[in-house]
Each structure stands twice: as structure tokens, then as C-alpha cells.
Structure 1
């Protein structure tokens, strides 16, 4: 597999990819048509914040499996486009958490004690001891906007220094905030009470300009520290608030446009401390995000869980061995069900019974949807299958029960149209061998084997022999078969596993016999 790296990462990450047997190509600072050409045959793309991964990039890269972001922020990646193309987007949120938190704390002290300004004047020969009267953080109130991984780490560090903590984050519970020693409040209350405000949110349409002129006025006499993402804090408004004395100071590590323009107003304000996006710039952090990203790419190539996937179902690595065999089973059940349905699919239901119902099955359900949509010749995988269902108005439901009559675990995939539905049930036998054990009301015992024929016929002597003869006449070898019936003399259903595809002529010959109600060829594409 080919991995294209377009932003520099630590050598440890590159070495890990090469050790796994993958080809690594570096092409730093490519953009525009050069980027599209470079990514055209790539199976993975590794970026940091410098590369814009747009829809055009995904259009140009038909073999792309995963985009790995060696860091936290992914606002430079079009995740919707990635999902539409079935490409996993994964970041490395843990690798630089400590580094980013430490830089935030350092910036808070730097602005509160005017450290860079005093340093510069001393280097210029001025002993300006009387010009700087700093602010202690002890007994002050820290307002945290965004109590995610970095926000939590900053809160812990500054709480230990005697600060009171208030936090604004609409996506975290009060209990979790309380565990960190923080009071969860709305944004206005956070701004009104904070002496120091630190920002730790991603840049989204909702957070862009979140802290602007009105919000900064509520922080009168306080300090703002932004080491998260540029654009969350309005730079013009921040520069004006510090220049006019509304704020005592600010510290900024990230900017809306990077590298920063020489005429950025923040550069002209004495009491604003600026650094060139150094939050993750420690040796340990760079190695951590590089190796984490490499590990996720290796996992994606091996069709294993990508633990930090942002647009695909993921699962804890320790739980993966328990659900792994059911992924292929659910996909196969979905493929069979959709090829037996004669109507447009309106809904998909995936049901789990027994021990499997105790597991995190999001990835299994996505695989069932992949199986349902794949025979319709859509470009589908477990990444974009849920999005395909949503886009096409297909309702997807998932249900679980610990009750099961005959098997330790059972997976049932039901597809339905306006007037009919088809259910296919599967389980695992000894050694994780997949078996299809029921089609609608018919109990079967079929090993999925690449090609299948499902025949509904009268329960009469000679029918099975006739089907076997027709298949033999068309050079189709039967690998296995199982026959089930409603009751003696009524309708029966037979599942044949085959070594070859059933030609149209064979299917027509079967259905020309009045005893054959339906003969449906099922293509599993070699699924086992």
C-alpha cells in the first residue's frame, strides 16, 4: 500500500509505516494540481494543518482508504466529502494533549507577568523593573471554553495552582465537569466571571468568531489565551480590546491565516504575546502523533478498528476480537437479504440476540448496511454506508436482546420495501465459522461461499434432482446444499452454495419448470 505524506511528521511515524511493509512517499508543500497528481495512486494520506484536503482531493484519489491527521484539528479536511467517498478520517487527539496544555499554561503566565516584553526590553539594555506589575493566578477564576481533552488538562493544571474553575461546554455533563473541579455554566456566565479565559474548541461554523467584541467586553480587566484554533477568537476585536485597555492582556498561538500576515493587528499591540503555533511543538508530542497516525493507517489497511476515526464506526481494540467474526457475517446476511428483495429498500433492521448483544456493535451494523447496499453497485463501505442510508431515506434500526432460543449469538438482517420484507439470520459455529441459519421462516444451515442459489419450490419428489441436473448441465458445481420446508407437500426452500456463477440460461431453465416458484442467484463476491 502507498502512503503519501504531505506535511512533515516525525521519523518514527514514517519508520513504523515502512516496517509494516508499506511504501512511503513524502511530498511536502504540494498544493493545487500537484497535490491532485501526487495523491492519485495513494492508499493513505498523512497531513498536518498545512494541507487542504478538499473534495477535489478525494475525487482525484480513487484508491484512498484513510486520511490521517497527525494532530487534533481537522478543519483543513472536508470530512463530509471523505465520508461520501468512503474514506476514513482519523486524527491523533492524545499525542499532543499534554504539550498543548503546557503551552497554554505557559502562555497564561507569559501574559500575566509580561515575560516576553520584559525580556525584550532587558535584551535592549533597559532595566524596566518598575514598568511591569504582574497578576498572580492564585485565587483568580479561570474560564475554560471547551472542556475536551486539552481543556481538561489545562483545568487540572491551573486548579492545582489555586484557581477557581468555571467552564462552558454544551457537550459535556455537569458530573464530568464537577469531577474536574469545574462549575459548568453558560457562555455569558463564564465570560462574566473569568479573570483568565482559555479557549479549547475546534474551528467549526458554530465556533468561528465565538469570542468577539461583545464577549471580550464581558471579560473587562481579564486575559484571553487561545492555543486552540485560529478564528475562534476574532483577532481584530482582540487586538482592539487589549490596545484600548478593555483587557489586561492576551496570548495567542493560533491564527485564522497561517503563517501570520505581517499586518496582523495582534503584532502591533504591546500587551499581546504571540507564538507561531507552537502548542504541539515538543519532541515527545511530535513523535506521539506521528506513531499514532501510522498505527491507525496500518489498522485501516488491515481492516481493523481505527480507534480515532472521526467519520466511521470504531471500537476499543480489546473488544475487537469478540466482534470481528460478526462483521463479515452481518455483511453477508445483508448481501443475501437485499438480493432476495424485489422492491426498493425502505428500511434495514439489524437485530442482535445472545452474547453479541452485550457488545458495541456499531461497526457490525455499519457492515450490515454495507452488505445491503453493495449489490446495488454503489461505491460503499462501512464508512459511508450509514451516510448512504440517510441520503436515500432508508431507515436503519438496531435492536438487542439477551434472549436467544437456539444459538449463543445470532445476527438478523431484515430489509423491507413497501409491501414485503426479507430476513436473513446468521451465527458462528465452532472456530468462528459463519453460517446462515434462517431465511425468512425457513431454517437452513448454509456456509456462505461466494455464489449461492436460493430456490423456492413445491415440496415434491424430483425437484432437487431437477435443480442439480440443470446446474450440472451448465457446468455449475454444487459445493453444498440445505433444504427446508414449511410442511410436508407444501412450499420448500433450498439454499445451494456453488463454485461458479449461475448463468441466465440456467436460471431461465429452472424457472420454466412449474414446480419452481423462484430461483434467485446470490453473488457474495467471495465473502466467507
Structure 2
């Protein structure tokens, strides 16, 4: 079969394709009509970031089975269009973990000892020995924000060099952190105790500008390293805090806008070290992503499971047709449960009742995990979600019973930690109408869509009116309401579908009323 490679990859990856018996066509730096012509009879396409895999390109490729991205980022690939065309999109998220971790360690030392600054002054003919007094990392505290694969690797390396470890990650278990030798703390404590802070969180709406003025004040006279994603640090605030001496310095490999604009304030601050997104730029990392991508292409062309598929189920087509509606329900229940639970998630329990308990539900469980972890990872999907759970030390429990009291089939997703748990149940009405039917035992029959608000309050006159009034005063329209209560005059739980974002001020205003127990804002469908 024909494999078209339009961006350079390591030779080892090409060797994997040749050894599998495929015809490999290398066509670098092509676009437009040339690309459309080259891909017309291709069965697989391998790219890096240089090729724009648009809907037009995908529609021109009648034989295409898979697009393999030799790296992690897939911004240049139209994944919805690929799905529409029945094309698998796969990436190589593991290949550069070690390279990214090593770069973060290198940047830590560069910041601590002012290596680039001293180098440049020596190149200019100076001998500035007395101008630089470095910091030793031994005996200092490393704060790790985001304790996934790369964060754990950095922690291991710097722990071996004598650093104490504290970590902030709401989705990692204490047991997993303990195994690495890190103390799991909240963000404020992490910032206050760290001498060096290293960022390893994806860029999501929750993490954008996670570190800004207030956080930098808490952090104080230390060094910040970011080799994860641009945008998680407020760059203007960082430059200002380093300039006025609040923060000692920073080393950054990633930026909110890349290439870094010429007017970025980071460029004018002496104690900021900058590299142009080099975290994955090692020979070993490039060989790893090339061979991993090639192996996935070989698997896809052999009609075998693709390990890092971003848009393809790992179950047979017949079973998927039956289970597809429940996949969405499981994912939604996971999203809702995760956003309702306060604190880190230590256990995810997925229970199947009724007819669905007779199916192979491995992919459905993985979809529930996808919903739970979606805010935490760059490309979480039903294929890699179980591995993410393992990496984060989250226990996953799957159980089945053919007995279902009220529904033909029911999926329950329960997330919990040592102090709290939240359970969300979902089912299908009339075969294809998804509903959230219970939240922590309250029967609600809510339509899971867009943006939702879940409130707990005392069951007494005027409370629902108060909630509607406050929402209205903040410009939030309520599209639907689903109410349940334990007993008359007891505690009630209500799910509201809303048309717009609910500002924090609205939630705070509601929670000042003693009748309101809790208010949680939930977003679904990527909104």
C-alpha cells in the first residue's frame, strides 16, 4: 500500500514502513494541487506540523485509512473532517516525554546559574565573574504543577539531585505522588513552598493564565520553568514581576503565541531565558515519534487496533453501532461527575445495569474515563484514557448486573476520593435520547447539553425563584430545569440548562444565601 510522507521524519520510521512491505513516497514541501494529486491514491499519510491536512485534502484521498502525526500536536489536522471521511488520526504522545523532561531540567539549571547570560557577556569580551551568584538546587524545593508523565519524569530526575518535591494536580492520587517521592498539595501551598516551579499542565480553559499576578506574588523570589504549553503563565505579568524583583527569573520554551512576537516583554528582561519550543528536539525523540507513528500506520493498514487513535473506536463495527449512543452517555456522565467532585479523583467506578451489561463495554468504560480526564490531558481519548488513569494512580472499577429496576439499560459513573464521592447515572430514552437520570441518588431526568448549573439547596418556597432572579441579573438565560428532592422540606438538587457562561460572581451571590448548599457550573460538548 502507498504511504505518503509529506514532512521529514527519522529514517528509522521509514524503515518500519519498508519492512512491512509498503510503498513509501517522500514528498516534502508540497501543498495545494501538488498535495491533492499526491494523496489521491495514498492509503496512509504521515505528517509533522508542516502539512495542513484540511477537509479538502481529506476529501481528495479516496483510499486514505490513517493520518499519522509524528509528534503530539494535531492542530494542523482537521479531525472532524477525518472522522467524516472515515480516516483514523493518530499521534505519538509518548515519544518525546524523556526529551521534554530533560529540557525542563536543563532550563532549571540554566536559570539557577544564569548560564546563557554569562555566556553572551563572555562572547562580547567581558569577564563578568562577580555579576552572577547562582543558586544550588540541592536542598531546595521543586514545585511541580501538573503531575502527569512529563511532570513525574522531571520530579524523578531532580529528586535524585537532592531536591524536595511538592506537586499540585487535582487529578493525581496521593499514593501515586508518594511513589515518586512528592507531597501532594494545593496550588497555593505549592507556590509558597517552591524555590523552583516547573509547569507541566496542558492548556485548557481552566489552566489558561493559571499563573498570573496573584500566584506570582505567592511564589516570590524563585525561578519558573515552562516547557509544557504556552498560555498557562501570564507572560506580561511574569515579565513585570521579574523586572521588579518579585520573581528571581524564568526559563521558557513555550509561549502563548509562537513564534514569540517581537514586542513581547519577555525579550527585554535579562533574567528570562528563552528557547524556541525545543522540548522535543532531540534525535532520540524524533526517532521515537517516527517509529511509533509508522507502527500505528502499519497496524491501521493491517486492520488492527491503533494504539493512539484520536478518533477511532477499538471495537468491531457491529458492536460499536449498538454501543455508540451509550459511549456518549458514559462520557457525559464522567464529565459531569468529575466537575461536581471537589478535590482530586482517586477512584472511578463505572457500573452497567440491564441489557448493556451483556455487552463488551471496555470501550464504553474508556469513554467514561475520557469524560473524567478530558480537562487534564492534551488529547485524551477512549484509547489512551485507561493509560492516563494508570499514570495518575486512579483506580478504575467496572461492574455489571443484568438487573435494572427502572431502565432497560443504565450506566453509572462514580468518582470519589477519601472524603467525598459523586455518582451520575445516564440512560437512553426512546432508543437514542440521552438523559442524566440521577445525580447522587436524586432523580432528575436532565438533558445533557452545553452548559449546566447544578444546585443543592433546602426545599422551601422562594429558593428556585431566587436562583432564577440571580441568573437573570447576571444575563444568564435558563433554558430548562430538572428538580428533585429527598423529602418535603429536606434537601433538593436541581439541574439547570443555561444558554451562556455563568460568571463566578453569580455563583458567589447564590452561595451567600444560607438556603443554598452548593452551586456547581458544568460545561459539556467542548463548550
- The TM-score, its normalising length taken from structure 1, stands at 0.58
Matches within 5 A, 1:88-487: 88-314=88-314, 327=316, 330=319, 349-352=355-358, 361-362=362-363, 418=430
Query: Per-residue displacement from partner, 1:309-348 (whole Å, max 9, x unpaired)?
Result: 233345xxxxxxxxxxx9477479999xxxxxxxxxxx99
- Please tell me whether the aligned partners of residues 327 and 364 of structure 1 are also in contact (alpha carbons under 8 angstroms): no
Give the secondary structure class of the aligned counterpart of 1:198: strand
How many residues are matched?
A: 353
Structure 1 residues 226, 62: CA separation in 2 closer, same or farther (over 3 Å shift)?
farther
Counterpart Cα distance in 1 of 2:4 and 2:168: 38
Counterpart Cα distance in 1 of 2:125 and 2:273: 20
Higher mean C-alpha displacement, 123-132 vs 78-87: 78-87
Cα deviation, residue 58, structure 1: 4.5
Counterpart Cα distance in 1 of 2:319 and 2:366: 7
- Please tell me whether the aligned partners of residues 350 and 365 of structure 1 are also in contact (alpha carbons under 8 angstroms): no
Query: Per-residue displacement from partner, 1:248-278 (whole Å, max 9, x unpaired)?
Result: 1111112233333333332222111111222
Q: Rg: which structure is higher?
A: 1
Counterpart Cα distance in 1 of 2:63 and 2:217: 51
- Please tell me whether the aligned partners of residues 313 and 363 of structure 1 are also in contact (alpha carbons under 8 angstroms): no
Counterpart Cα distance in 2 of 1:186 and 1:61: 49
Structure 1 residues 192, 55: CA separation in 2 closer, same or farther (over 3 Å shift)?
farther
Counterpart Cα distance in 1 of 2:55 and 2:354: 29
- Please tell me whether the aligned partners of residues 354 and 401 of structure 2 are also in contact (alpha carbons under 8 angstroms): no
CA RMSD of aligned residues (A): 3.8
Give the secondary structure class of the aligned counterpart of 2:225: strand
Cα deviation, residue 121, structure 1: 0.9
Query: Per-residue displacement from partner, 1:396-422 (whole Å, max 9, x unpaired)?
Result: xx97579xxxxxxxxxxxxx9959xxx
Q: Counterpart in 1 of 2:378?
A: none
Counterpart Cα distance in 2 of 1:18 and 1:158: 40
Cα deviation, residue 296, structure 1: 0.7
> Which segments of 5 or more consecutive residues in structure 2 lack a partner in the other structure?
325-352, 368-381, 384-397, 403-427, 432-527
Q: Counterpart in 1 of 2:342?
A: none
Structure 1 residues 190, 290: CA separation in 2 closer, same or farther (over 3 Å shift)?
same
> Which segments of 5 or more consecutive residues in structure 1 lack a partner in the other structure?
315-325, 336-346, 367-381, 384-397, 403-415, 420-528
Counterpart Cα distance in 2 of 1:211 and 1:7: 35
Structure 1 residues 267, 182: CA separation in 2 closer, same or farther (over 3 Å shift)?
same
Counterpart Cα distance in 2 of 1:138 and 1:283: 30
Query: Per-residue displacement from partner, 1:422-477 (whole Å, max 9, x unpaired)?
Result: xxxxxxxxxxxxxxxxxxxxxxxxxxxxxxxxxxxxxxxxxxxxxxxxxxxxxxxx
Cα deviation, residue 205, structure 1: 3.4
Q: Counterpart in 2 of 1:17?
A: 17
Counterpart Cα distance in 1 of 2:79 and 2:10: 24
- Please tell me whether the aligned partners of residues 7 and 27 of structure 1 are also in contact (alpha carbons under 8 angstroms): yes
Cα deviation, residue 84, structure 1: 4.8
Cα deviation, residue 190, structure 1: 2.0
Cα deviation, residue 210, structure 1: 2.5
Q: Counterpart in 1 of 2:87?
A: 87
